[in-house]
């Protein structure tokens, strides 16, 4: 697992874009689907989850999704506990978050220190505390979830962060919730967990994000492009560049997690959660440039088979089409993502990379291999 | 670059009056005495709470269409249909579905009943329309009023024109003769190419596309209108090759040359899905009104994927060969039946607003298509593959003799 890196303190003064960004994570934004004349609102879709206060446990919650999700839940008035090893600070002030908001959050969030791989401890500590709802946003294997279910026989809802990576690769797209899954995929642990939840009889909900992005992303998705754009370097993209992927903003994912809380329509259901539009690899490079105010990038295509990159990843995305339909969440839950791609990347840039913060240092070694070969051939 | 899925049929519009006016016998006395004024249709718009969700069982089965139609009120529908190209089959399915649901249908095909074009599907199967109680007439859409001998309709679908010149006369006549709802088959080809697929309703379209002018005009003239933007279709009775292009090569053990990477996404719908969307619009006119609908299936397929699916349907292997058309001096439009780019729209408005559900299942549908392909003997028909050979020669690919 990657080391958690403490965020750099912000050096730049807040910029005017912040006020809009702040409003995005202060409280759940209720989105309506509007068409020319007809508003399509499935009954109950705009029902704000849980009129009653819940005692909520989040497995994880100090890194990325949980950072935003926990704030929304606390704002809704729930009692929220984060279960972490305590390696990273339980709370950190977010870029753009006011001091008063942060101290309010900090005063209310609770911490249960432990290692979730210690199943006995998980069972005993959770059983002792008792929780109404569990959000499992860092679980990878079914065995990790068993002690939680054992500890909480009266659990009202188990909400799981799964992954669209469970879908079986297909020529027919987008991936929809009803489609075949791949029991051999790298994410089979997520699949096994979903099966366990199904068999256990608990009231479960599973969300399957695609690629998540946004401020504090520890997976170098947008960061990978920003490093190169900032350095004025060409962007090396494997093969044709028309491969289609899909990004979902972390704040929209957090909103989705809140939307399913106490929601009957989410009971024992799987939902894909991501952006409404997909994007080609080439298109993503251009969108990142736009978001950061960089000029249109030079894109260099290459055949990855002609290189041996060793253990290094030359490109942060799977070299294939990979995108999922979010129509089910739209129709069943009334969920409409707030951020489009450029808006979301701009939010990420302004609150994170653009302030000089990032998780991984730039590593252009694979780029140089590609560019040296490409330009050698051209000369 | 406005190459559309269907071949151009506008050049085939006859400017001289049709040689045969429909005889009175084509308009027998109505069999039903139901009042023709629109009633109940507004009260029958399906309320949002009953919208089907993707995981729910299919609610829009054929039988429920019939029930809804009877309650919504029988409509008199005129289909102005192109006489060739990829869209021709739409009118055929739509007519049959409407008739099956209890509506009255007249299909006006452009041109002459006796023309050679009428020997091809779906026109050579029009007896299926007449035996179901539909009327078939031929003529020039510019004289539509005359061609239909003064009959009046509740709904008109123009499945013919690609520009204002060819559709305006139909729109004007429809308005003046009291048609209440005007439907138009446009094209998803008018969307501006994007690197953020899919094309969704409301996205920017190419300002100079002929269909755009038509869409605007219809919206100005009618208060109850709906626009449908299809892509490619498969289905028995198709006037234009689609899957056949792949079958032709696969059964003859020839490589399948696909331009570019083969990763380009396209949308191929069974025409029954197109028809069901149109039928929903007829039966829910208030919901449909003033909306644009991408008239496509709810899944995309890659070009390579289509080749693979056709091969699987045929139970045969396939060898895909990629090429760069520019590099070898090939016009991809002539060499390959689909656009050499991502061309991918999603039917979001239809799902949101009409509660439409797609049923296209390419693996299953292609099996059926292949059965027919063999049944008509096309698998053994002698064929030339001149452009293919040119491509393969340029790539130095061997062809099985």
**Residues A297, A299, A304: CA angle, nearest 5 degrees:** 150
**What distance in Å separates the CA atoms of residue B47 and residue B5, rounded to the nearest whole number?**
35
DSSP string, A221-257: SHHHHHHHHHTT--EEEETTS--EE-EEEHHHHHHHH
Q: Where are the alpha helices (DSSP H) in chain A?
A: 18-25, 65-75, 99-108, 119-129, 142-151, 188-200, 222-230, 250-259, 281-291, 327-333, 341-351, 365-378
Of the residues B203, B258, B294, B299, the best mutation for testing chain A's interface (the one with the most A CB atoms within 10 Å of its CB) is: B299
**pLDDT reading at B30 higher than 50:** no
Per-residue model confidence as pLDDT tens digits over B115-163: 999 999 999 999 999 999 999 999 999 999 999 998 999 999 999 999 9
Positions of chain A with pLDDT lower than 50, given as ranges? 1-49
Nearest CA in chain A to B51: A42
Instruction: Tell me, yes or no, if A266 comes closer than 8 A to chain B by beta carbon.
Output: no
The SS3 call for residue A160 is strand
Q: Answer for the pair B120, B239: CB distance below 8 angstroms, yes or no.
A: yes
Name which residue leads in pLDDT, B60 or B145.
Answer: B145
User: Is CATH 3.30.420.40 correct for B13-393?
Assistant: no
How big is the A-B interface in CB pairs under 8 Å? 103
- In tens, the pLDDT along B205-260 reads 999 999 999 999 999 999 999 999 999 999 999 999 999 999 999 999 999 999 99
pLDDT higher than 70, residue B191: yes
Q: Does B359 touch chain A (CB under 8 A)?
A: no
Where do the structural domains in chain B lie, given as residue ranges?
Answer: 13-393
Residue-wise pLDDT tens digits, B67-111: 555 556 899 999 999 999 999 999 999 999 999 999 999 999 999
d(CA B90, CA B121): 12
**Chain A residue closest in CA terms to B199:** A277
Q: Considering only alpha carbons, which residue of chain A is nearest residue B52?
A: A331
Q: Running DSSP on this structure, what letter comes out for residue B238? A: -
Asked if A171 reaches chain B (Cβ–Cβ under 8 Å), the answer is yes
CB contact under 8 A, B261 and A331: no
pLDDT, tens only, A122-144: 999 999 999 999 999 999 999 99
Return the H-helix or E-strand segment holding A302: strand A299-302
Chain B 182-201, CB below 8 Å of chain A: which residues?
A: 194-198, 200
Q: Do A177 and B54 touch (CB under 8 A)?
A: yes
Model pLDDT, residue A375: 77
ipTM of the assembly? 0.84
Torsion angle defined by CA atoms of residues A262, A265, A267 and A272, in that order, rounded to the nearest 10 degrees: -110
Distance separating alpha carbons of residues B4 and B162, to the nearest angstrom: 10
Quote the mean pLDDT of chain B.
Answer: 86
**Residue B22 pLDDT:** 39
Which residue from A242, A327, A341 is facing B348, i.e. has the nearest CB? Answer: A327
- Which chain B residues have a beta carbon less than 8 Å from that of A240? 260-261, 263
- Is A41 an 8 Å CB contact of chain B? yes
Residue B98, chain A, CB below 8 Å: the answer is no
Which regions of B304-394 does DSSP assign to beta strands (E)?
320-323
Query: Which residues of chain B make contact with A174, given a CB cutoff of 8 A?
Result: 299-300
* pLDDT for B47: 36
Query: Which of B298, B301, B342 lies at the smallest CB-CB distance from A242?
Result: B342
| Residues whose CB is less than 8 angstroms from the CB of residue B252 and which lie 6 or more positions away in sequence, other chains included | B383
Chain B 5-44, residues with CB within 8 Å of chain A CB atoms:
none
Neighbours of A309 (CB within 10 A): 13
Of B196, B289, B352, the CB nearest to A277: B196
Measure Cα distances from A278 to A77, A158, A339, B191 in Å. Answer: 35, 29, 13, 16
pLDDT surpassing 70 at residue B346: yes
Sign of CA dihedral B124, B130, B131, B132: positive
Q: How far is the CA of B188 from the CAs of A82, B1, B268, B297, in angstroms?
A: 49, 13, 12, 12
> Minimal Cα distance from B347: which residue of A?
A327
Q: How far is CA B71 from the centre of its chain?
A: 27
């Amino acid at each position: 697992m990657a080391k958690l890196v403490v965020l750099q303190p912000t050096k730049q003064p807040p910029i005017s874009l912040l006020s809009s960004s702040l409003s995005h994570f202060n409280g759940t934004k209720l989105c309506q689907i509007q068409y020319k004349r007809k508003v399509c609102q499935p009954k109950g879709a705009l029902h704000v989850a849980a009129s009653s206060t819940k005692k909520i446990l989040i497995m994880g919650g100090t890194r990325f999704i949980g950072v935003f999700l926990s704030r929304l839940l606390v704002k809704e008035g729930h009692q929220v506990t984060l279960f972490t090893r305590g390696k990273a600070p339980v709370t950190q002030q977010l870029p753009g978050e006011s001091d008063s908001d942060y101290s309010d959050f900090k005063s209310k969030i609770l911490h249960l220190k432990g290692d979730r791989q210690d199943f006995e401890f998980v069972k005993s500590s959770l059983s002792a505390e008792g929780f109404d709802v569990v959000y499992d946003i860092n679980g990878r294997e079914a065995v990790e979830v068993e002690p939680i279910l054992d500890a909480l026989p009266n659990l009202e809802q188990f909400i799981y962060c799964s992954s669209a990576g469970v879908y079986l690769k297909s020529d027919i797209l987008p991936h929809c919730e009803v489609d075949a899954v791949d029991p051999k995929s790298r994410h089979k642990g997520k699949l096994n967990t979903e099966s366990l939840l199904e068999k256990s009889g608990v009231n479960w909900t599973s969300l399957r994000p695609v690629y998540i992005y946004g401020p504090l992303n520890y997976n170098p998705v947008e960061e990978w492009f920003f490093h190169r754009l900032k350095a004025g370097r060409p962007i090396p993209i494997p093969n044709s560049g028309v491969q289609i992927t899909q990004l979902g903003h972390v704040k929209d994912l957090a909103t989705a997690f809140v939307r399913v809380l106490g929601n009957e329509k989410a009971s024992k259901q799987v939902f894909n959660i991501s952006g409404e539009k997909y994007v080609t690899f080439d298109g993503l490079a251009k969108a990142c440039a736009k978001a950061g105010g960089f000029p249109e990038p030079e894109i260099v295509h290459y055949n990855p088979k002609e290189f041996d990159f060793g253990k290094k990843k030359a490109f942060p995305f799977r070299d294939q089409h990979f995108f999922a339909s979010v129509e089910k969440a739209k129709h069943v839950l009334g969920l409409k993502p707030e951020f489009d791609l450029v808006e979301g990347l701009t939010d990420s840039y302004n609150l994170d990379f653009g302030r000089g913060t990032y998780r991984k240092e730039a590593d252009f070694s694979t780029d140089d291999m590609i560019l040296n070969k490409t330009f050698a051939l051209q000369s | 670059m406005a190459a559309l899925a269907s071949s151009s049929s506008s050049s085939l519009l006859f400017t001289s009056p049709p040689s045969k006016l429909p005889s009175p016998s084509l308009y027998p006395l109505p069999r039903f005495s139901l009042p023709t004024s629109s009633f109940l249709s507004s009260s029958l718009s399906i309320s949002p709470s009953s919208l089907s969700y993707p995981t729910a069982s299919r609610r829009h089965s054929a039988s429920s269409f019939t029930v809804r139609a009877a309650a919504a009120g029988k409509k008199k529908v005129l289909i102005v249909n192109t006489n060739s190209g990829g869209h021709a089959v739409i009118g055929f399915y739509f007519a049959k579905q409407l008739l099956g649901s209890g509506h009255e249908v007249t299909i006006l095909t452009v041109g002459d009943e006796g023309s050679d074009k009428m020997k091809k599907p779906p026109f050579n199967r029009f007896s299926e329309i007449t035996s179901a109680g539909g009327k078939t007439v031929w003529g020039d859409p510019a004289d539509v009023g005359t061609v239909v001998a003064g009959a009046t309709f509740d709904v008109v679908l123009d499945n013919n024109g690609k520009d204002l010149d060819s559709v305006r006369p139909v729109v004007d006549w429809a308005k003046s003769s009291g048609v209440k709802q005007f439907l138009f088959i446009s094209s998803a080809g008018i969307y501006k190419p994007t690197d953020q697929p899919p094309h969704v309703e409301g996205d920017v379209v190419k300002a100079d596309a002929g269909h755009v002018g038509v869409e605007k005009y219809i919206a100005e003239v009618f208060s109850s209108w709906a626009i449908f933007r299809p892509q490619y279709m498969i289905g028995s009775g198709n006037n234009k090759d689609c899957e056949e292009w792949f079958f032709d090569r696969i059964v003859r053990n020839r490589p399948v040359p696909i331009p570019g990477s083969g990763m380009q996404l396209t949308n191929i719908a069974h025409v029954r899905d197109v028809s069901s969307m149109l039928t929903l619009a007829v039966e829910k006119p208030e919901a449909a009104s003033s909306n644009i609908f991408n008239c496509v299936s709810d899944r995309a397929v890659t070009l390579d994927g289509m080749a693979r699916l056709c091969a699987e349907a045929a139970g045969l292997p396939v060898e895909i060969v990629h090429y760069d058309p520019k590099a070898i001096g090939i016009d991809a439009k002539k060499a390959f039946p689909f656009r050499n780019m991502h061309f991918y729209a999603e039917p979001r408005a239809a799902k949101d607003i009409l509660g439409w559900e797609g049923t296209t299942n390419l693996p299953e549908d292609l099996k059926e298509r292949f059965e027919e392909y063999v049944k008509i003997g096309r698998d053994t028909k002698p064929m030339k593959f001149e452009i293919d050979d040119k491509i393969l020669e340029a790539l130095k690919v061997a062809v099985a003799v």
